[in-house]
Amino acid sequence: MSTVDSKLAMGLQTPCYVYDLDLLDETLRRIRNELNKHANYHQHYAIKANTDPTVLRHIAAAGFGADCVSGGEIRAALAAGFAPSEISFAGVGKADWEIRLAIESDIECFNVESIAELEVINSIAQQMNATARVCFRINPDVGAHTHANITTGLAENKFGIAREDMQKVVRLAGEMSNVKCIGLHFHIGSQILDMTDFRELCQRVNELQDELDAAGIPTMSIINVGGGLGVDYDDPDDHPYADFTAFYDTIAQTLKLREGQQLITELGRAVVAQMGSLVTKVLYVKQGSVKQFVIVDAGMTDLIRPALYGARHRIENLGAEDTTESGDISARGTATYDVVGPICESSDVFATGITLPVAKRGDYIRICSAGAYGQTMASQYNTRPLPNVVCRQNN
């Protein structure tokens, strides 16, 4: 049973993200179970997926590290209690102040994406009389079967250092005074459900490690294979947990770690997507010339995924205060709707042609799987206030 049934939605000030912390805790427990099968596996939560302070504190308290992509995320991770020694800092465009903050905070490592960036990190570390630990993000040129906007591991993508330049950058780092190269980093994309993609990534990492061995480059202590594990957006209540077993088993069966190497994963979406719902209210039901629209008070400003990626999120009509008293919403019959928001953009559409119980002004609508890349991608376009957040925990 979801934590956002019709009764629990009553009285919420909408639009509102509702986070189910019991589901989050159970998700974290399942990830921990998988990690515990291997002495040298670690998970750094990709905090870009959800940086709500309560959510971050739960994940930090469960002993995970953090993958950050900005100075703001490093600050949020530190404030939530993530250990600096478990924080990595990625991103193609790190600003000088962000590099300084990371060095001052003594985080575990930078995931470096270019020679130009390596030189800047070395020079800032020198000014600060420090040594910056770096992993190189190598573009593995491995495709992921997911949306084009969220693949990152192809040669044509902007991310990472070309694989043919790997040895050059590792040697270059060895000659620099204030950086220490400690590992390799990879990430092929997001919302990946086909384990073959992760298998191919691990095979590519094996090839790259063989190349480094053959070149006489000493073994590095960290192999970071990134995140990307997908979740079930179609049927979240029946499948609230991603297949962590398949993910970690695929890595363990394919990746050949060297003696003493630590493995890091950077799951984001799979940690937080299913614990979150965006609860919104029907403002108007409008009959257009060819379609019937349910106009809700949440918009693409609160969940941009459908507009930006054509993403599908399950949508439920939970009914209104009076329907719960007067009986079952299913007694109303159903109708076909486009569910749209109030923003002045034609792409402000959550779903088209879906069947829902007949909608009325005041009904609560639940947009499922909104825990990842919902709140963190929200904007104030149209000068809208940001939605409320309600965290629920029973256990």
Q: Catalog residues that contact ligand LLP under the rule CB under 6 A.
A: 46, 49, 67, 90, 150, 152, 187, 190-191, 226-229, 266-270, 305, 309, 373
CB of 275 to ligand LLP, least distance (A): 14
CB of 297 to ligand LLP, least distance (A): 22
Tell how strand 262-265 and strand 179-185 pair up. unpaired
With CA atoms as reference, report the closest residue to 118 among 144, 136, 100.
136
CB of 216 to ligand LLP, least distance (A): 29
Q: Is 115 left (phi over 0), alpha (psi -120 to 50) or beta?
A: alpha
Instruction: Give, in order, the Cα–Cα distances in Å from 8 to each of 12, 114, 176, 326, 358.
Output: 8, 49, 58, 16, 20
Neighbours of 395 (CB within 10 A): 6
CB of 323 to ligand LLP, least distance (A): 32
Q: 295 near 282, Cβ under 8 Å? A: yes
Find the helix or strand (DSSP H, E) in which 244 lies.
Answer: helix 244-254
Task: Report the residue number, 111 or 280, with the smaller CB distance to ligand LLP.
Answer: 111
Task: Report the residue number, 57 or 312, with the smaller CB distance to ligand LLP.
Answer: 312
Task: Report the residue number, 240 or 319, with the smaller CB distance to ligand LLP.
Answer: 240
Instruction: Give, in order, the Cα–Cα distances in Å from 256 to each of 144, 149, 203, 226.
Output: 21, 30, 9, 16
Task: Report the residue number, 181 or 264, with the smaller CB distance to ligand LLP.
Answer: 264
Helix 195-214 to helix 166-175 angle (10° resolution) is 50
Task: Report the residue number, 181 or 318, with the smaller CB distance to ligand LLP.
Answer: 181
Task: Report the residue number, 150 or 296, with the smaller CB distance to ligand LLP.
Answer: 150
Distance of CA 26 to the CA centre of its chain: 17
Helix 244-254 to helix 21-35 angle (10° resolution) is 20
Tell how strand 41-46 and strand 262-265 pair up. parallel
CB of 133 to ligand LLP, least distance (A): 17
Task: Report the residue number, 23 or 90, with the smaller CB distance to ligand LLP.
Answer: 90
Type of residue numbered 306: P
User: Radius of gyration (Cα) for the chain, nearest Å?
Assistant: 23
Tokens 């054509």 locate to: 310
Task: Report the residue number, 23 or 359, with the smaller CB distance to ligand LLP.
Answer: 23
Neighbours of 171 (CB within 10 A): 12
d(CA 250, CA 130): 38
Tokens of 361: 């002004």
Neighbours of 217 (CB within 10 A): 16
CA dihedral 216, 218, 222, 228 (to 10 degrees): -10
CB of 360 to ligand LLP, least distance (A): 31
CB of 65 to ligand LLP, least distance (A): 12
Task: Report the residue number, 135 or 181, with the smaller CB distance to ligand LLP.
Answer: 135
CB of 110 to ligand LLP, least distance (A): 12
Task: Report the residue number, 67 or 73, with the smaller CB distance to ligand LLP.
Answer: 67
CB of 389 to ligand LLP, least distance (A): 18
CB of 374 to ligand LLP, least distance (A): 8
